[in-house]
Structure 1
C-alpha cells in the first residue's frame, strides 16, 4: 500500500509539472530541451542563489542550478543546437515525468540499473560512481571516522536515499557487516541533517558528493571505500551514471554522439570544476 501511494504521488507530481509547461497555452518549445534533476545533490546538481559560475535559472523553482549534471546537459544541448531548460523534480518523480513527456530527459546522477531500464531508456554512461560513507569526524563524536572497510561499521546506523541503488546495496549487504539500515530518506539535505543531529552514524554517497558535503560541513569526513573490494559489491549497471530518456526517444543516438565528443580528460576537468564550484553553495 505504501509503495502504491509513493507511485501515485510521484505520478501526480509529474502531471503537475507537465501542467506548469502547458498551462495558459505555454506549450513546450521544440527548440528547447527540458532536462530534469533534483537540484539538491552537490556536486552533480545543486541550487545556488545567483548565476555565478554559469549556473542556469531553474524554470519551476527559485534559484539557479549548477553542478556536473548541468555542465554535461549544456554540452548535450549545444551539440543538439537547442536551448537548455532545467526543471526541478523530486527523485521519485523524475522517471514518471520523462515517461509522460513533461521532460525530454533526466540528467540527475541516475544509474542505469536493470530495474530502471524496464521503464526508460538510458544513454551510454557519462560517469562511473564509487560508493563511500560520510561520517562525523572523531573529534565531533564520530565513532566510525577511522573505518577502512564495511566490516569496520559493525554496530553503525547508516542511511541512504530512498529509491536509489545506494539504499538497495545497504539493505542487502549491510546486515552481514552488523550495520543497521536506517529508514531511507528522500534527499541528501535530509541525510546531512540527520548526520549533523546524530540521528545516524553515516550515510551512503558517491565520492564527489562526499567531497562536496565534507567541504560544506567541517564536522564531516568520509570513508573512501572501494566497490567490490573494501566496500559494497556492485554491478556496472549500479554505478554507470547515464542520461535517462523515454522509451524509444528520438534523442538517444544524438545524446550518445554528444557524449562521445567529451573526452575522459574533459569529463574529469568538468567534475573537478563542479566540485570546486559547489563549495559553500546550498545543496537544498
Structure 2
C-alpha cells in the first residue's frame, strides 16, 4: 500500500507541475507587444495624381513598392501614409487602385484606408468615414501656356471655354458655376486630362493648386490660373482626408498622427513632393 501511495503521489505532483507549466506558457504568450505588430496597413491610392501620389520605377526619394507590382508609389500621400503606418506599428502596403474603385475596395476589406488626395464630401460621408484633414488647398484651373485663357482671373473669363475635371469628383460639379462654359465629358485621370489639354481637346481642367503647380512644373506648355473671383466651395470640398471604413479601429490613432504634423511640416512635405515628382507625371 505504501508503495502504491508513493507512486500515486508522484504522479499527482508531476501532473500539477505540467499544468502549472502550461499556465505559465499561456500567460507569456498573451502579454506585452502591440496587437497590430507584424500586420500590414493596406492603403489604396491611384498613384497617378502628382504631387499627391504617383508611380515610379524605383524606390528613390522614399517611394514605397506597390503591392503585386514591380513599380513604386511616391508623393505627399505616400509620406503621410508612411507616418500613419509607423505610428500604428504596422508595415505599409500600397495598393494601386483606380479612383472609382477606391471606396468599393475599402468597403470590401481589400484596403484599410484611402490616402489619395480625397476630399471628405458630404456624399462620400454617407458611405465611409474620414479622418481629420491632412491638407487643404484651393481650386484653380490648368490651361495652355500662351493660350487665350492664361491671363484669366475670374470664372467669367472662361465663358465659351471647353473645360473638364476628373470623373466622380466635386471638381467636375463646380464647372456648372461658369456661365457659358462648354462642360466636356469628365475624364478618368489627371494624366488623361493633361494629354487632352496638350492636344487641344480641352481649354482647361479644374484642379487643386498642388496638382496645378505640379502640372506646370512637369510641362512648360501648361500654366495655372488662380482666381480672384473663383468657385464657391465648402471647407470639406477643398480639404483632403484619410478615407476609412465606417467605425474603423484606426480613426483615433490616425487623427493623433495627423495632429502631430504641423502646417509648416505639411507644406514642406508638399514642396518636396513637387520637386521629386517624375517629369512624366
Pair in the same fold by TM > 0.5: yes
Cross-structure match for 1:266: 265
Alignment of 1:1-284 (within 5 A): 31-138=39-146, 142-170=147-175, 172-174=176-178, 177-225=179-227, 230-280=229-279, 282-283=280-281
Residues in 2 aligned to 1:88 and 1:62: alpha-carbon distance in whole angstroms: 12
> Any idea what the Cα deviations from partners look like across 1:98-152, whole Å, max 9, x if unmatched?
00110000000000000000000000000112111000011xxx22111111111
Residues in 2 aligned to 1:61 and 1:196: alpha-carbon distance in whole angstroms: 29
Residues in 2 aligned to 1:33 and 1:274: alpha-carbon distance in whole angstroms: 22
Structure possessing the higher radius of gyration over alpha carbons: 2
Q: Are 2:115 and 2:243, in contact at CA under 8 Å, matched by a contact in 1? A: yes
Deviation, structure 1 residue 168: 1.2
Deviation, structure 1 residue 31: 1.1
Residues in 2 aligned to 1:68 and 1:252: alpha-carbon distance in whole angstroms: 20
Q: Are 1:37 and 1:87, in contact at CA under 8 Å, matched by a contact in 2? A: yes
> Any idea what the Cα deviations from partners look like across 1:174-218, whole Å, max 9, x if unmatched?
2xx221110000000110000011000011111110111111111
In structure 1, the residue corresponding to 2:132 is in which secondary structure? Answer: coil
Deviation, structure 1 residue 61: 3.2
Q: Are 1:215 and 1:279, in contact at CA under 8 Å, matched by a contact in 2? A: no
Unpaired runs of 5+ residues, structure 1, are 1-28
Residues in 2 aligned to 1:125 and 1:62: alpha-carbon distance in whole angstroms: 31
Residues in 1 aligned to 2:100 and 2:137: alpha-carbon distance in whole angstroms: 20
Deviation, structure 1 residue 220: 0.6
In structure 2, the residue corresponding to 1:123 is in which secondary structure? Answer: strand
Unpaired runs of 5+ residues, structure 2, are 1-36
Please list every run of at least 4 consecutive aligned residues from structure 1 whose deviation after the TM superposition is greater than 6 angstroms.
none
Residues in 2 aligned to 1:92 and 1:155: alpha-carbon distance in whole angstroms: 29
Residues in 1 aligned to 2:150 and 2:191: alpha-carbon distance in whole angstroms: 21
In structure 2, the residue corresponding to 1:250 is in which secondary structure? Answer: coil
Residues in 1 aligned to 2:96 and 2:278: alpha-carbon distance in whole angstroms: 21
Deviation, structure 1 residue 62: 3.7
Residues in 2 aligned to 1:134 and 1:104: alpha-carbon distance in whole angstroms: 33
CA RMSD of aligned residues (A): 1.2
Deviation, structure 1 residue 30: 6.1
Residues in 1 aligned to 2:222 and 2:262: alpha-carbon distance in whole angstroms: 33
In structure 2, the residue corresponding to 1:108 is in which secondary structure? Answer: coil
In structure 2, the residue corresponding to 1:213 is in which secondary structure? Answer: helix
- TM-score for the superposition, normalised by structure 1: 0.84
Residues in 2 aligned to 1:60 and 1:212: alpha-carbon distance in whole angstroms: 27
Deviation, structure 1 residue 279: 4.9
Structure 1 stretch 58-67 or stretch 83-92: which is displaced more?
58-67
Q: Are 2:38 and 2:91, in contact at CA under 8 Å, matched by a contact in 1? A: no
